[in-house]
Amino acid sequence: MDGIADFILFIHLIIAIFISAGMVIFPIGGLLSWRWCKISA
């Protein structure tokens, strides 16, 4: 299996979870994703 393809599928799964969770806890999910992107950058 191509590692890149698996990684992309994994990211899509995480995004889907974040979106569905964000419907309930949007402020918390938004803050966590913002901080994660900030740290990763």
Cα 13 vs. chain centroid, distance in angstroms?
8
Question: Residue 8 is which amino acid?
Answer: I
Identify the pLDDT of residue 26: 65
pLDDT tens, position by position, 1-41: 578 989 999 999 998 887 777 666 667 767 777 777 777 75
Q: What is the DSSP letter of 25?
A: H
Q: CA–CA separation, 7 vs 3, rounded Å?
A: 6
Identify the pLDDT of residue 36: 75
Global pTM reads 0.44
Q: Where are the alpha helices (DSSP H) in 1-41?
A: 3-40
Q: How many CB atoms lie within 10 A of CB 25?
A: 11
